[in-house]
């Protein structure tokens, strides 16, 4: 009898837990973001409703999840400086999660006539912000490649390094002469 009660309790707990929705998914590589190694460390998933914003730092394997999500409609989006990711409207009803693709500013689908996509959600990058990249990585290479830079490097070499080199060569000569003279002294 006690065992039966315990089992029944477990069953009720299970039902209760399974009634609470978990919104989850994974960021996957594509042509825009070619590898999960390129996933910026500061990438956050945000589940936004009128009442609150929930924040989840996306794991290194691209996974994210929000547990105990209540009934309602949400906007799911991803925040990082380097990429734009796809955005979703999420409708939660009991334990079920219905995600829909959306774009910034678009109203959520008022009718559920639109077909929802599969859950867990697969998220892809849609755009990379190149302008953030160029000033840092590009300019140094471009600078080094430019003829002006090469010329000035060459002149730096001429002005500073060559005299030192010849000086060095001269001192080498001097010490060699000294050594030679010492050798000749010893032999005499
Ligand atoms: C939630 O699902 C039930 C069926 O399980 C349905 O009757 C109800 O209309 C749905 N609620 C919303 C807000 O879509
Ligand atoms: C959420 O929706 C489900 C299905 O329609 C319902 O059984 C449940 O009571 C609702 N939960 C809340 C907190 O409103």
Are 52 and 66 in contact by the 8 Å Cβ rule? The answer is no
Atom of ligand 2 nearest to the CA of 70: 13
One domain, residues 129 and 36: yes
One domain, residues 176 and 120: no
Confidence (pLDDT) at 5 = 60
Confidence (pLDDT) at 171 = 73
Residue 10 falls inside a structural domain: no
Confidence (pLDDT) at 54 = 96
- Beta-strand (E) ranges in 58-172? 63-69, 72-79, 83-85, 87-93, 96-102, 121-123, 125-128
One domain, residues 129 and 152: no
Among 16, 70, 93, the mutation site with the greatest number of ligand 2 atoms within 8 A of its Cβ is: 93
One domain, residues 107 and 152: no
Which tokens belong to 95?
Answer: 């334990």
Which ligand is nearest to the Cα of residue 69, counting in written order? 2
DSSP tally for the chain: helices H, then strands E: 4, 10
Q: Give the chain's domain count.
A: 2
Residue 2 falls inside a structural domain: no
Confidence (pLDDT) at 143 = 67
Confidence (pLDDT) at 28 = 96
**3-state secondary structure (DSSP) of residue 40:** coil
Residue keyed to tokens 């929000």: 66
Residue 4 falls inside a structural domain: no
Which ligand is nearest to the Cα of residue 16, counting in written order? 2
Atom of ligand 2 nearest to the CA of 93: 2
One domain, residues 25 and 114: yes
Confidence (pLDDT) at 66 = 97
Residue-range definition of the domain harbouring residue 179: 148-187
Ligand 2 neighbours, Cβ below 6 Å, are: 70-71, 93-94
Confidence (pLDDT) at 134 = 55
Residue 11 falls inside a structural domain: no
Distance (Å) from CA 130 to ligand 1 centroid: 44
One domain, residues 116 and 173: no
One domain, residues 25 and 106: yes
Q: Tell the residue nearest (CA) to atom 1 of ligand 2.
A: 94
Q: Which residues of the chain have pLDDT under 50?
A: none
């Amino acid at each position: 009898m006690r065992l039966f009660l315990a089992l029944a309790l477990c069953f009720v707990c299970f039902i209760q837990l399974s009634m609470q929705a978990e919104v989850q998914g994974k960021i996957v590589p594509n042509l825009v973001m070619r590898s999960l190694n390129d996933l910026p460390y500061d990438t956050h998933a945000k589940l936004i409703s009128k009442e609150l914003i929930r924040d989840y730092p996306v794991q290194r394997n691209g996974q994210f999840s929000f547990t105990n999500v209540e009934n309602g409609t949400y906007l799911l989006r991803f925040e990082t400086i380097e990429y734009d990711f796809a955005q979703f409207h999420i409708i939660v009803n009991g334990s079920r999660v219905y995600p829909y693709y959306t774009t910034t500013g678009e109203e959520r689908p008022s009718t559920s006539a639109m077909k929802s996509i599969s859950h867990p959600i697969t998220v892809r990058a849609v755009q990379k912000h190149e302008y953030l990249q160029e000033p840092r990585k590009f300019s140094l290479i471009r600078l080094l490649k430019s003829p002006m830079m090469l010329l000035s490097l060459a002149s730096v070499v001429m002005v500073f390094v060559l005299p030192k080199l010849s000086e060095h060569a001269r001192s080498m000569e001097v010490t060699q002469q000294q050594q030679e003279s010492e050798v000749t002294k010893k032999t005499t």
